[in-house]
Homo-oligomer: A and B are copies of this chain.
Amino acid sequence: VDGSSVEVPGGASRSERPTASARRGLDTRLIVSEAVRFIDQHGPDQLTMRQLGARLGVEAMALYRYVPSREQLLDGVVELVMDELYRDSRVDQEAGTWQEYLQRLAHAVRVIALAHPEVFPLVATRPPAAPWLRPPLRSLRWVEAFLGGLAGFGFSTYATVYAYRAFATFLLGHLLLETGTHAIHATAKLNADIEFLESDDLADYPRISALAPELSGGGYEEEFEAALEDLINRLQLVLDQDGPST
């Protein structure tokens, strides 16, 4: 309910008609959030400077006053979406334990990912602005808070870094897989998919056929929860071996 907090003044008309409130007062932030909405609806490949301009009641060339290039616009999309974390109530309040802290953070990121399944692949694969940022933890403010949080709970620097890396890897793998099945193109493509290198017949793969329902079934939520708990247990072991303080 609170995962899609990118506010854009305009209404929901998906025609080329510009919304009244967007007509005047173009602005970098407005452009980026309209891009987010567009990608949520049609996927990143469909996002075109001309189409985005049309939705904002403007020619494509006008966007270049506020955005250096399409590539940087996509970077802005990633940044804006991940910044929804700041508006998520569950990360605001103080956590009592580091386990609780990681739980809250993980769930908040998951909410964002599921709210924007078409954006998440960009979060996962766009080259980060700095080498210390591991997707999907792509914001400096964020990572700073993460490191500070764990340190506050008595993590050594070693344990902090270990936890950071493991946590990012966990989120990336799970959420990319989960959003991949939720994405628009996933279903759209299955219909029209003809393998042209070699045509596969499912009858040749008895084990897959037998397990098809289990393999394709959902259960992402339970999987996420279980793996998150495992990760936390794993970090507990590292903490125990390592001793507290810096």
Contacts and interface: CB of A to CB of B under 8 A. Distances in A.
B157 A214 contact: yes
Interface in A184-216: 185-186, 189-190, 193-197, 200, 202, 204-208, 210-212, 214-216
A197 B148 contact: no
A125 B135 contact: no
Contacts of A180: 125, 127-128, 135
A144 B211 CA distance: 10
Interface of A: 28-29, 32, 67-68, 72, 75-76, 79-80, 121, 124-125, 127-132, 134-135, 140-141, 143-144, 147-148, 151, 157, 160-161, 164-166, 168-174, 176-177, 180-181, 183, 185-186, 189-190, 193-197, 200, 202, 204-208, 210-212, 214-216, 223, 227, 230, 234
Question: What is the total number of copies of this protein in its complex?
Answer: 2
A79 B173 contact: no
Contact of A173 (B140, B173, B200): B173
